[in-house]
Amino acid sequence: MSYRRAAALLLLALPIQALKAADMPPPPPAARPYAIVNQVDLTKLLAPPPDEAGARKELDQLLAIQAKRTAADEAACIHDQVINVFRFDDVLGSQFTPENLPKTNHLFLRVVASVHIPMQKAQEYWTRKRPPAVDPAIKPVGAVPATAAYPSGHATNGNLFGIILADMLPERAKEMRARGELFGYRRLLAGVHYPSDVEAGKQSAAFIAKSLKGDPEYRADFAAARDELRMALGRKADKKMDKDGDDDDAGYAAKKMDKDGDDDDAAYAPKQAATPDASKEAKEY
């Protein structure tokens, strides 16, 4: 058994309480961002986070979510703590791995590196404290990142993964987007983000996706990854992006959370990976 495999098994064996103080998994090898994201300024595109009164309402929402949180929810939060597109293996199957899909892996490593640029600027601009730092009644699951809360990097990356995979697999667009949104919702379950952080992350993903589609390097990497993925899944490699870089899924309407803080995607129950690889791609968002 490899050292990394053993370390991952040890991580899973730790109680949730111990994981609260654990460091986030190590970041991936450096990937080159797509240059066009330097034009994305989330501080000018997003509304500021809610004021103190609004934050209090959001904390009450988190407490309501926390009261209903199950052991399975906690395990799912740990599973998605690492930002990695290959967490979509719970909907795309066991063949969806970086080893099987090197071009897809290359694309998404660059996508994550690209998100980091506008995300870091936005989080440092608003410097919003994480929920557990504001209300000690919030009991987080897993590590609490040292970065600011607004907007959510997990929600941004997750939704962006969903958008890109929906472009690659338009026949499964709703499924891809729903799984992407689940990255953000699990940050609420974990108690490390406010609902407005997650919503801002969803908006950030849309802004960044639109920007990326105007980058020639991204479009070339996307085309190669799309064809590779469709072939691996046994689907025809005939899906083409429109001239503006968008897919044709204009009718997609993303699910929203209920007023009580729960999501409406009750039918969506992805299987949990037995052993998440802690050496995979990660960012402290």
Backbone angles phi, psi at 110, to 5 degrees: -70, -35
The more confidently predicted of residues 69 and 284 is 69
- Distance (Å, rounded) from C-alpha 62 to C-alpha 136? 12
Mean model confidence pLDDT for the chain: 81
CA distances from 83 to 44, 47, 102, 133 (A): 25, 25, 17, 23
Q: For the chain, which residues make up each domain, given as ranges?
A: 58-232
Nearest to 120 by CA among 29, 179, 199, 42: 42
pLDDT, residue 258, reads: 40
- Distance (Å, rounded) from C-alpha 102 to C-alpha 227? 12
Q: Residue 83 pLDDT > 90, yes or no? A: yes
CATH class of the domain defined by 58-232: mainly alpha
The more confidently predicted of residues 18 and 148 is 148
For the segment 170-186, the average pLDDT, to the nearest whole number, is 97
Q: Both tokens of residue 128?
A: 């919003």
What residues have CB less than 8 Å from 30, skipping those under 6 apart? Answer: 113
Residue 193 contacts residue 130 (beta carbons within 8 Å): yes
In this prediction the pTM is 0.78
93-138 pLDDT, tens digit each: 999 999 999 999 999 999 999 999 999 999 999 999 999 999 999 9
219-235 pLDDT, tens digit each: 999 999 999 999 999 98
pLDDT level of residue 236 (50, 70, 90 thresholds): confident
